């Protein structure tokens, strides 16, 4: 039974207001310097298709971040991380087998080779069990930066930081419902989710990673303006050469990951950086962190 109907705002409902600045021609600083991450705060997702070592190598060349897919076994992870790469974060689940895999992996590497872990929930990050599992992981790994989520409930966001998460992904974008990417019908406008969660996370010393359905690079800029410290990409990376999977030909058209083949993601990564830099120019921001001060308006 419908008891309450609230308006939820998606990224299509908002825009970033331009702002006069005497620093328009200043050099733009796209890197974020924190104890959690030092680099350009745009990550490729851990999803199997895009969270590849090939994508990690490309994003690293651009000083951007990557979550590796959990499909990699420990021998592959050992080979990749032995030389060290602070821009890449491995992904593990919270099940007993996944925690065992993590402990084995951690035990094979010299200390300090892995700085953080993308910790996946069993089903949903809104499950209270996930809070206990994140807290337990924190107790057993005090020096590891923990990326958690995605969530959209500010109460859960606050609890995740309190039990030990360093970064909380904010997502559950309602556009995934429209695009039939899942069947539960659950979702909230991505702008609303960020507005609801950013303050409670920041107040507790945590950081926010926007993780939603993005149609274009403007969406990423809006996420930063709405308070996100990081943005995680998935849909816009699908179909590139660096993705997992075979390239096929259907009716004379090259396909990969069920979309038209897009070639290397190298040029697309440059497009992302160009879009963010342009947004910073239009809003008078010199550092990417200053985009949080931009004014976001309804359209």
Look up residue 107 and give its two tokens: 């035990």
Looking at residue 215, its pLDDT comes to 86
Q: 253-256 and 248-250 as β-strands: parallel, antiparallel, unpaired? A: antiparallel
| Cα–Cα distance measured from residue 92 to residue 47, given in angstroms and rounded to the nearest whole number | 12
Structural domain boundaries in the chain: 11-298
Looking at residue 172, its pLDDT comes to 85
Q: CA 44, 220, 152 angle in degrees (round to 5)?
A: 85
- Are the beta carbons of 209 and 199 closer than 8 angstroms? no
> Which positions ≥6 away from 125 have C-beta within 8 Å?
148, 149, 150, 151, 156, 160, 169
Looking at residue 181, its pLDDT comes to 60
Q: What is the mean pLDDT of each run of 10 residues along the chain (299 residues)?
A: 76 92 78 97 97 98 98 97 95 98 95 95 95 98 97 97 98 73 80 96 98 93 98 95 95 94 97 96 93 95
- Are the beta carbons of 170 and 232 closer than 8 angstroms? no
Residues present in the chain in total: 299
Report pLDDT digits (tens) over 206-236.
999 999 989 899 999 999 999 999 999 999 9
Q: Which residue do the tokens 């809006």 mark?
A: 222
Q: What superfamily does domain 11-298 belong to in CATH?
A: Aldolase class I (3.20.20.70)
Q: Which residue do the tokens 């990564």 mark?
A: 269
Q: CA 103, 106, 111 angle in degrees (round to 5)?
A: 145
Report pLDDT digits (tens) over 47-68.
999 999 999 999 999 999 999 9
Query: Which residues are paired to 184 by β-bridges?
Result: none
Looking at residue 26, its pLDDT comes to 78
| Cα–Cα distance measured from residue 47 to residue 102, given in angstroms and rounded to the nearest whole number | 18
Query: Which residues are paired to 18 by β-bridges?
Result: none
Looking at residue 89, its pLDDT comes to 98
Backbone angles phi, psi at 184, to 5 degrees: -80, -20
Looking at residue 50, its pLDDT comes to 97
| Cα–Cα distance measured from residue 140 to residue 117, given in angstroms and rounded to the nearest whole number | 13
């Amino acid at each position: 039974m419908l008891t309450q109907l609230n308006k939820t705002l998606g990224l299509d409902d908002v825009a970033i207001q331009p702002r006069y600045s005497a620093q328009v021609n200043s050099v733009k600083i796209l890197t974020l310097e924190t104890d959690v991450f030092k680099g350009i705060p745009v990550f490729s997702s851990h999803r199997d298709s895009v969270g590849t070592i090939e994508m990690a190598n490309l994003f690293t060349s651009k000083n951007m971040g990557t979550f590796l897919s959990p499909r990699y076994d420990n021998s592959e992870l050992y080979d990749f991380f032995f030389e060290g790469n602070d821009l890449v974060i491995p992904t593990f689940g919270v099940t007993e087998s996944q925690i065992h895999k993590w402990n084995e992996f951690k035990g094979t590497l010299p200390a300090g080779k892995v700085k953080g872990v993308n910790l996946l929930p069993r089903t949903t990050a809104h499950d209270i069990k996930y809070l206990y599992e994140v807290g337990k992981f924190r107790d057993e790994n005090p020096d590891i930066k923990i990326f958690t989520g995605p969530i959209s409930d500010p109460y859960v966001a606050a609890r995740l930081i309190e039990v030990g998460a360093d970064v909380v992904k904010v997502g559950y974008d309602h556009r995934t419902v429209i695009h039939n990417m899942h069947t539960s019908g659950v979702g909230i406008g991505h702008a609303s989710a960020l507005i609801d969660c950013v303050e409670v996370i920041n107040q507790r010393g945590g950081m926010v990673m926007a993780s939603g359905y993005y149609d274009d690079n403007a969406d990423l800029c809006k996420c930063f303006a709405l308070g996100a410290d990081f943005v995680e990409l998935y849909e816009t990376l699908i179909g590139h050469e660096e993705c997992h999977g075979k390239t096929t030909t259907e009716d004379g058209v090259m396909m990969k990951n069920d979309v038209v083949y897009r070639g290397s993601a190298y040029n697309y990564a440059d497009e992302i950086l160009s879009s963010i830099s342009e947004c910073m120019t239009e809003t008078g921001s010199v550092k990417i962190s200053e985009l949080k001060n931009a004014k976001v308006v309804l359209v």
